[in-house]
Structure 1
Amino acid sequence: MAAKDQPVFTLLVEAGRKPGDGLPEGASGAALLCYAGGVDEAEAVRETVAVLRQAGLSVLDVTGYGTADERHAQGHEIDAQEAGLMARAAAENAVIVAQVTPFFDDATGG
Structure 2
Amino acid sequence: MDKSPDKKRQQVFTLAVEVGRAPGDDLPEGSTGAMLLCYASGIDEAEAVRETVAVLKQAGLNPIEVEGHGTRAEREADGDEIDEDEGALMDRALEQNAVIVALMTPTHDED
Output the TM-score relative to the length of structure 1: 0.92
Q: Is 1:14 aligned to residue 21 of structure 2? A: no
Alignment equivalent of 2:62, drawn from 53, 58, 61: 58
Aligned residues: 104
Deviations 1:29-61 (A, max 9, x none): 100000001000000000000000000001000
- Listed as ranges, the gaps of 5+ residues in structure 2 are none
- Listed as ranges, the gaps of 5+ residues in structure 1 are none
Stretches of 4+ moved more than 2 A in 1?
Answer: none
User: Displacement of 1:105 after TM fit?
Assistant: 1.9
Output the TM-score relative to the length of structure 2: 0.91
Alignment equivalent of 1:25, drawn from 20, 25, 29: 29
In 1, the alpha carbon distance for the partners of 2:95 and 2:43 equals 14
Which secondary structure does the structure 1 equivalent of 2:17 belong to? strand
Q: Is 1:87 aligned to residue 88 of structure 2? A: no
Q: Is 1:68 aligned to residue 72 of structure 2? A: yes
Q: Is 1:40 aligned to residue 44 of structure 2? A: yes
Percentage of pairs with the same residue:
63
Which secondary structure does the structure 1 equivalent of 2:60 belong to? coil
Which secondary structure does the structure 2 equivalent of 1:88 belong to? helix
User: Displacement of 1:104 after TM fit?
Assistant: 1.4
Which secondary structure does the structure 1 equivalent of 2:32 belong to? strand
